[in-house]
Amino acid sequence: MRKLFMLLFLLAISFSFAINVLIPVGPTVVAFVGLLEKKVSSEVELKIDFWRTLDQVSAQVAAKNVDLIVLPVSIGASLYSKGIDLKLAGVILWKAFYVVTKDFDLTDLKTLSGQEIYTPQGKGQTGDVLIRYSLEQVGLKPDIDVKIRYATPPEIVSLMSAGKVRVAVLPEPFVTLALKQAQSRIEYDLQELWSNYTQLPARVPITGLFVTKNLDEATLYKAMTAIENSLRYAMENRHEAAALSVPYLGGMPAQIIEESLTRTLYEYKRANEVASEVIQYLKITQQVDPSAMPSIPDEKFFAF
């Protein structure tokens, strides 16, 4: 009995020191499935949970219920500018967005004049910023020369399958889903367009890992290393990672997830390594949509 009490006591201590990690419901789970399914080890206990809305994010951070949180980089920067206590520890997703078409001959971005493009979620989101910026570079005015419409990625794929959408910006794995279900095709890699117009690498700081508490440095580094290893596991073990991700992605076929990983780049880069790329992206987000990025964060935004 004494041994049982001791075991329960040790478990209670372990749980109380667990690092609470919040990740979004959706494709990002692929990068964490190695940890979720114990395929990747960690020197510290990570308790991974999911967020669905930004209101939930704000509430969790304000209540100090989370240590690390995964967010779109632009949203994290916007929250920081509003006084929310978080800092960017690293960027984890660099490549995911593509322009896809169905029954439309997109020979040049200028041929989108007078057309309608569907993009995910809403104004100021990554796909929206990338397509608006690209249109501006070829002399087209978004919302005037080209109508921008918003819907969720599954809705866009359904509309494209029904022949109601001809041009869309989608993230993976919905690009692959559109290829299979709507017989659409990829016209542009938006990361490549970004590189052409900015002279930066062909990658975009899409999603980041944010620190919301003053964790001791050793513990934080162990957590970051475990997450970095989980990202690497997903990229190097695509078949297994895809199969394990199916239950977390509403039953999306494993083949779709696996193929999508060939056009996705999860790679952990610490914030200070890529600070200039992040700031450049945020400045262009502000240029494209000032309401989404009212101010550019200062150097304290970067945890390292």
Give the dihedral of Cα atoms 214, 91, 260, 38; nearest 10 deg.
-30
Instruction: Please report, for residues 38, 116, 184, the alpha-carbon distance to residue 230 in angstroms, rounded to integers and kept in the order given.
Output: 10, 38, 31
Domain 19-95+206-301 has CATH 3.40.190.10: yes
**Separation between Cα atoms, residue 294 and residue 108, nearest integer Å:** 32
Tokens linked to 241: 């990672």
CATH class (in words) of the domain with range 97-198: alpha beta
Instruction: Please report, for residues 118, 148, 174, 178, 254, the alpha-carbon distance to residue 155 in angstroms, rounded to integers and kept in the order given.
Output: 10, 15, 10, 11, 20
What are the residue ranges of CATH 3.40.190.10 in the chain?
19-95+206-301, 97-198
pLDDT in tens, the chain (304 residues): 555 555 444 444 444 578 999 999 999 999 999 999 999 999 999 999 999 998 888 888 888 889 999 999 999 999 999 888 899 999 999 999 999 999 998 989 999 999 999 999 788 899 999 999 999 999 999 999 999 999 999 999 999 999 999 999 999 999 999 999 999 999 999 999 999 999 999 999 999 999 997 778 899 999 999 999 999 999 999 999 999 999 999 989 999 999 999 999 999 999 999 999 999 999 999 999 898 898 999 999 999 8
Contact 234, 33 (CB under 8 A): yes
Written as one letter, the residue type at 173 is P
